[in-house]
Amino acid sequence: MPPISARIGGILTALALLATIPHEYGGGQGFAITAAALLTLALALFSLTARLSRLAFVALGLVLIAWAAATRAGWAEATLTALSRGAFIIALFTALSALRSAAIGSQAILDCGRFLARQPPGRRYLALTLGGHLFGLILLYGSISLLGSLAAESTAREANEELRRHRLRRMLVAIQRGFASTLCWSPMALSMAVTMSVVQGASWAGAVGLCLVSSALMIGIGWLLDTVFKPHLSAPPPPRAAETDSWWLRLRPLLVLLAIVVGSVFALHLATGVAVTGAVMTVVPLVAAGWLLILRPAPGGPLASLAMRIGQFATRELAGYRGEIILLFMAGFIGSLGSWLLVPIMQAHGPDLSAFPPLLILAALVWVIPLSGQVGMNPILAVSLLVPLLPAPEALGIHPTAMVVAITGGWAISGNTSPFTASVLLVGKLGGVEARHAGARWNGLYALATGAALTLWVLIAAALL
C-alpha cells in the first residue's frame, strides 16, 4: 500500500482529470487553473516519497520559476501556462491509465498475448510487432510489460540457453518496436498530444494519414532487419507444434475494444468539435468503467463496485505511478517555461533559424529528438523545449503536417533507443541487460535505418503538401 501522502496525491490526480475535461470543451480558464492547482498539490505530496532522480526535475522547475520571476515581466502568467501544460499531460495519462488498469487484468487480453507469443519463428516477430502495436494503442508502454512478461514466460521453458537468449531478445524488440510505432500516429499517445500543442496550425485529422506511413515504415523495416539478421545457432532448434488456435478468436477481444474506443473518440470529435485529446479524456475513462462493470463485477451492486474500483485506482495505481507522474508533469512544465525564457534570448543572440533551409530543419527534427534522449532528455521535454524555439511552419514556408511527421517520427525512434524512457527500461529489465544495451545494441542499427527512412519520408511529405 502506498504511503498516505501518495494516496492523497492519487486522489488529487484523478480529480484533476475531471477538472480538465470541461476545459477541453471550452468551459473556461478556471477549469484549467483548478486542474493545475490540484496537480501542483499532488506533485508536492508525491515528492515526499519520490526518488532523487525525480526530485531533480522538481528542483529544476523551481529554478526556472525563480529565473523567470527575477528577469521577466509576465512570469506569473507564463508559469500558470506551464502548469496547465503539465496538468494537461497528466490528465491524458490518467485517462489512459484507467483503461490500461481495466484491460490488463482481463483473461481474454492475457490469452490474446499468449497466443501471439506462441507463434512459430517464421511469423513470431511480425505477430508480436503487430500485437505490440495494437496493445500499445490501449495499454501504452504497459503493452511491453504485459507482452514482454508473456514472452519471458514462454521462453523460460526452453532448455537451450543460447536459443532462449536469442528468442527472448527478438521477441522483446519486436514488442517494443510495435509499441513505439504507435507514437507516430495514435491519438491516444502523448507524442501526438504534445506535438499538436506546440506546432501551430497542426491537426491530428490532417496529419494521421502521413503519420500512418511512418508507422508502417517502422514496422516493415524492423521485420526486414529481423529476417535478414537472424542469429546463427550452434545447433538447430527443436521442432515446435503447430499453432491451431484461430487468429480471429484470440484477437477478437482486443480488436473489439479498439473499435469501441477509437470509434467513440472519432464520433465524439466529429459530433462536438472537441479536440481529439479531449475526446480521448472523455471516452477512455467511460470505456474503462464499463469494462469493469461488465467483465469484472464486484459484490455490492454496480455503483458500489464502480466506486470501489475508482478508489483503488486513485489510491493504489495512480499513487504507484507517482514517479512517472512527476517526470511527465515536470517535462511538460520545464519545456513550456524554459522555451518561454529562451525564445527572446535566441532572438537576440542566437542564430536566425529562419535563414536555415526548411527541409534541413525538418530532417534535423527526426534526429535531434532521439539524440537528446541519449543524454537524459525525455521526448516530452525535448519537444516542448526545442520546437517553440523554431519559427512557425508558416514562416518557414512548410506545412504544419510535415513538422508533425518529423517530430513524431523522431519521438518513436527515441522510444526504441533512449535508456531513460520507460519502454527501453522495461525491455532491458525483462531481457536481463542494461537499458543502454537494450537501446543502443539491440536497436542501434534499427534506429539508423528507420531514421534514414523517416528522414526521406519527411522530405517527400513536405514536397507533397
Q: What is the pLDDT of residue 210?
A: 97
Signed CA dihedral, 125, 129, 134, 135: sign only: positive
Q: Quick check: 402 and 454 in contact, CB under 8 A?
A: no
- Domain-embedded: residue 237: no
pTM score of the predicted model: 0.91
Q: Quick check: 407 and 195 in contact, CB under 8 A?
A: yes
Signed CA dihedral, 116, 117, 121, 126: sign only: positive
Q: What is the pLDDT of residue 142?
A: 80
- Domain-embedded: residue 238: no
- Domain-embedded: residue 241: no
Q: What is the DSSP letter of 438?
A: I
Which residues have CB under 8 Å from 14's CB, separation 6+? Answer: 94, 310, 313, 314, 318
Which residues have CB under 8 Å from 199's CB, separation 6+? Answer: 387, 393, 400, 403, 404, 407
Q: What is the pLDDT of residue 38?
A: 97
Query: Residue 173 — φ and ψ, nearest 5°?
Result: -70, -30
Q: What is the pLDDT of residue 241?
A: 61
Q: How far is CA 124 from CA 127, 133, 171, 442, 460, in A?
A: 5, 14, 8, 17, 32
Please give the single-letter amino acid code of residue 407. Answer: I
Taking each helix axis from N to C end, the angle separating 29-47 and 52-71, rounded to the nearest 10 degrees, works out to: 130
Q: Quick check: 314 and 67 in contact, CB under 8 A?
A: no
Pick from 326, 318, 306, 289: nearest CA to 8: 318
- Domain-embedded: residue 239: no
166 alpha carbon, distance to own chain's centre:
27
- Residues 403 and 410: their CA atoms lie apart, in Å, by 11
Range of the domain at 106: 4-230+248-464
How deeply is 271 buried, as exposed, middle or buried, from its count of CB atoms within 10 A (0-12, 13-18, 19+)? exposed
Q: From start to end of 189-240, where are the E strands?
A: none
Q: Is 433 helix (H, G, I), strand (E, B) or coil?
A: coil
Please report the DSSP string for 32-76 in residue order: HHHHHHHHHHHHHHHHTT--HHHHHHHHHHHHHHHHHHHH-TTHH
- Residues 190 and 176: their CA atoms lie apart, in Å, by 16
Residue ranges of the chain with per-residue pLDDT less than 50: none
Residue given cell 458500489 in the structure block: 304
- Residues 358 and 341: their CA atoms lie apart, in Å, by 24
- Residues 61 and 55: their CA atoms lie apart, in Å, by 10
Q: What is the pLDDT of residue 235?
A: 65
Q: Is 444 helix (H, G, I), strand (E, B) or coil?
A: helix
Q: Quick check: 102 and 284 in contact, CB under 8 A?
A: no
- Residues 340 and 334: their CA atoms lie apart, in Å, by 10
Q: Is 231 helix (H, G, I), strand (E, B) or coil?
A: coil
Pick from 246, 232, 243: nearest CA to 124: 243
Q: Quick check: 200 and 401 in contact, CB under 8 A?
A: no
- Domain-embedded: residue 299: yes
Q: What is the pLDDT of residue 298?
A: 63
Count: domains in the chain: 1
- Residues 53 and 119: their CA atoms lie apart, in Å, by 40
Q: What is the pLDDT of residue 106?
A: 80
- For residue 328, give the C-alpha cell: 511527465
Round the average pLDDT of the chain to a whole number and report it.
Answer: 91
- Residues 401 and 407: their CA atoms lie apart, in Å, by 10
Please give the single-letter amino acid code of residue 413. Answer: I
- Domain-embedded: residue 235: no
